[in-house]
């Protein structure tokens, strides 16, 4: 099931999310519209915190803010006790504004600017995740200038290949991320020579949308060995598990994932385990609503239903050939009648949201709902074709509130000087 936990079908065939009829949301806020289910978001936060706490009590969950970074989302994640993985000054700024505890912030990024490093040191973030020697030296210099001690974790490249799209696989040997294992001893010597820095742990991230727990087990064993060898106190396992975008995909249970990881560590170390899930926290909480603006039948070839959004609000299909489920949002009870391709409005022939899917007969004005759009949609959205980005609403218990307002034309030219 790819819909949010609170999704239901009403007697009139309309979907509701968070107790709100999606047709009402479309009328009130317009389309395209990102809708976020608060219940799913909080459930996922709790599932991670509780499962890992049970499986291995000394654990900390940090939300990977790159998946969806808004003030409201960060406030909810913080309220649920999560820390944050940030990978830029902008994400750091947002989560701090939302009230995040700096001690639970993990500052990532493989080329943090001097300004960003300084912002992180001044904010007293818990951990700098160091990717390379140039960065190590920059942190040392800036920390010395500010008279501060900084705790760092080294991001290693574990050389583990996980089964996912090539662009989101990060742990294989030929990767721009992390310190290769055979260069690690030398790297550690360099860290030890730095006066302001303390090495507290090792981190790795093997990739995203991984539906199999096995590579994570391999990864945690490797990190455990390093932890024992160097006597460090924090083990950073990177992102979380994948999610089911389609009915035939089966994602692992968070509790099972936690048990299997906890079992490797229990009794062998007391180091803190940290995990930075993004997709599996917010992915399924989100849906996007679109209105069909045209139905184009090319006899014997294909029927296109063209919607008012596309690659600028969801670039994942064109970037990774990502697949999504789409629903006729006000005719949930209607039988599938034809095979259609849901195409976007942008000036690019690859701008398709869902290809060749069976739908009830579609008409201009119909409301469509694409599920599982909570992660890496808004955060990777653009203004291609100078189209304002959609609004985002939070729904719960029959009510809705704006998390992000729709951009205006004025917003589009705000930074144009001449």
Find the residue with minimal CB distance to ligand LLP.
239
158 is in an annotated binding site: no
- Contact criterion met (CB below 8 Å) for 289 and 21: no
DSSP of 35-74: EEEHHHHHHHHHHHHHHHHHH-SSEEEEEEGGG---HHHH
Helix (H) or strand (E) holding 146: helix 133-146
283 is in an annotated binding site: no
Nearer to ligand LLP, 63 or 290 (CB): 63
Nearer to ligand LLP, 67 or 340 (CB): 67
Q: How near is the Cβ of 377 to ligand LLP at its closest, in Å?
A: 8
Q: How near is the Cβ of 389 to ligand LLP at its closest, in Å?
A: 17
30 is in an annotated binding site: no
Q: How near is the Cβ of 59 to ligand LLP at its closest, in Å?
A: 15
34 is in an annotated binding site: no
Please state, in angstroms and rounded to a whole number, the distance separating the CA atoms of residues 220 and 213. 11
321 is in an annotated binding site: no
Q: Tell me: does residue 108 bind ligand LLP (CB under 6 A).
A: yes
Pairing mode, strands 33-37 and 286-298: antiparallel
Answer whether the bond into residue 5 is a cis peptide, omega within 30°.
Answer: no
CB burial of residue 236 (10 Å; 0-12, 13-18, 19+): buried
Please state, in angstroms and rounded to a whole number, the distance separating the CA atoms of residues 17 and 369. 11
Name which of residues 220 to 239 contact ligand LLP (CB under 6 A). Answer: 238-239
320 is in an annotated binding site: yes
Q: How near is the Cβ of 47 to ligand LLP at its closest, in Å?
A: 13
Binding residue (CB under 6 A) for ligand LLP from 4, 89, 178, 240: 240
Nearer to ligand LLP, 290 or 376 (CB): 376
Residue indicated by tokens 């849906």: 287
Q: How near is the Cβ of 71 to ligand LLP at its closest, in Å?
A: 20
Q: Which two tokens stand for residue 117?
A: 């490093």
- Binding marks (x or -) toward ligand LLP, 187..206, rule CB under 6 A? ------------------x-
Q: Tell me: does residue 64 bind ligand LLP (CB under 6 A).
A: yes
Binding residue (CB under 6 A) for ligand LLP from 78, 138, 209, 288: 209
Name which of residues 12 to 51 contact ligand LLP (CB under 6 A). Answer: none
Q: Tell me: does residue 286 bind ligand LLP (CB under 6 A).
A: no
Name which of residues 306 to 335 contact ligand LLP (CB under 6 A). Answer: 316, 320
Piece in contact with ligand LLP (CB under 6 A), picked from 140-148, 181-189, 271-279, 391-399: 271-279
CB burial of residue 259 (10 Å; 0-12, 13-18, 19+): middle
Q: How near is the Cβ of 316 to ligand LLP at its closest, in Å?
A: 5
Binding residue (CB under 6 A) for ligand LLP from 37, 60, 85, 366: 85
Binding-residue total with ligand LLP (CB under 6 A): 21
> What distances in angstroms separate CA 143 from CA 11, 111, 113, 151, one per listed residue?
62, 17, 14, 11
Q: Tell me: does residue 279 bind ligand LLP (CB under 6 A).
A: yes
Q: Tell me: does residue 168 bind ligand LLP (CB under 6 A).
A: yes
376 is in an annotated binding site: yes
- Contact criterion met (CB below 8 Å) for 169 and 207: yes
316 is in an annotated binding site: yes
Q: At CA 223, angle to CA 219 and CA 229, rounded to 5?
A: 150
| 221 CB neighbour count, 10 Å cutoff | 13
- Contact criterion met (CB below 8 Å) for 92 and 125: yes
Q: Which two tokens stand for residue 312?
A: 């600028």
Please state, in angstroms and rounded to a whole number, the distance separating the CA atoms of residues 231 and 191. 15
Q: How near is the Cβ of 386 to ligand LLP at its closest, in Å?
A: 23
**SS3 assignment, position 171:** coil
Binding residue (CB under 6 A) for ligand LLP from 32, 277, 310, 344: 277
The rounded Cα 236 to chain-centroid distance in angstroms is 17
Burial of 192-212, coded b for 16+ CB within 10 Å and e otherwise, reads eebebbebbbbbbbbbbbbee
279 is in an annotated binding site: yes
Q: Tell me: does residue 376 bind ligand LLP (CB under 6 A).
A: yes
Write out the catalytic residue numbers. 347
Q: How near is the Cβ of 144 to ligand LLP at its closest, in Å?
A: 27
**SS3 assignment, position 16:** strand
Please state, in angstroms and rounded to a whole number, the distance separating the CA atoms of residues 137 and 199. 14
Q: Which residues define the annotated binding site for substrate?
A: 279, 316, 320, 348, 376
Q: Which residues define the annotated binding site?
A: 240, 276-279, 316, 320, 348, 376
Q: Which residues define the annotated binding site for pyridoxal 5'-phosphate?
A: 240, 276-279, 376
Write out the residues near ligand LLP by the rule CB under 6 A. Answer: 64, 66-67, 85, 108, 168, 205, 208-209, 238-240, 276-280, 316, 320, 376, 380
């Amino acid at each position: 099931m790819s819909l949010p936990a609170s999704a239901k079908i009403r007697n009139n065939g309309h979907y509701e999310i968070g107790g709100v009829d999606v047709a009402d949301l479309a009328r009130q806020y317009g389309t395209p519209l990102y809708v976020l289910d608060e219940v799913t978001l909080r459930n996922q936060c709790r599932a991670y915190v509780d499962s890992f706490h049970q499986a291995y009590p000394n654990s900390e969950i940090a939300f990977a803010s790159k998946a969806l970074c808004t003030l409201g989302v960060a406030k909810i994640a913080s309220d649920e006790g999560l820390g944050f993985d940030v990978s830029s000054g902008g994400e750091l700024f947002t989560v701090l504004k939302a009230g995040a505890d700096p001690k639970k912030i993990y500052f990532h990024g493989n080329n943090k600017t001097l300004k960003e490093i300084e912002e992180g040191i001044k904010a007293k973030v818990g951990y700098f995740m160091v990717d390379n020697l140039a960065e190590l030296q920059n942190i040392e210099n800036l920390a010395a200038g500010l008279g501060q001690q900084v705790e760092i974790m080294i991001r290693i490249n574990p050389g583990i290949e996980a089964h996912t799209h090539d662009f989101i696989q990060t742990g294989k040997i030929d990767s721009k991320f992390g310190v290769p294992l055979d260069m690690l001893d030398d790297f550690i010597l360099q860290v030890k020579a730095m006066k302001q820095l303390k090495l507290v742990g090792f981190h790795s991230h093997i990739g995203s949308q991984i539906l199999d727990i096995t590579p994570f087990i391999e990864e945690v064993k490797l990190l455990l060995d390093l932890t024992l060898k160097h006597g460090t106190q924090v083990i950073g396992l990177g992102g979380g598990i994948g999610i089911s975008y389609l009915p035939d995909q089966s994602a692992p249970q968070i509790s099972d994932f936690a048990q299997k990881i906890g079992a490797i560590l229990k009794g062998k170390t007391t180091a803190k385990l940290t995990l930075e899930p993004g997709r599996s926290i917010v992915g399924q909480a989100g849906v996007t609503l679109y209105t069909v603006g045209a139905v184009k039948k090319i006899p014997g070839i294909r029927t296109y239903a063209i919607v008012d959004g596309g690659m600028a609000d969801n670039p994942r299909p064109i970037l990774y050939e990502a697949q999504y489920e789409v629903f006729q949002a006000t005719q949930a009870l209607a039988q599938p009648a034809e095979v259609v391709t849901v195409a976007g409005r942008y000036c690019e022939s690859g701008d398709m949201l869902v290809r060749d899917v069976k739908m009830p007969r579609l008409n201009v004005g119909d409301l469509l709902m694409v599920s599982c759009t909570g992660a890496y949609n808004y955060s990777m959205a653009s203004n291609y074709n100078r189209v304002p980005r959609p609004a985002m609403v939070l729904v719960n218990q029959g009510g809705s509130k704006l998390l992000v307002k729709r951009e205006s034309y004025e917003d589009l030219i705000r930074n144009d000087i001449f």
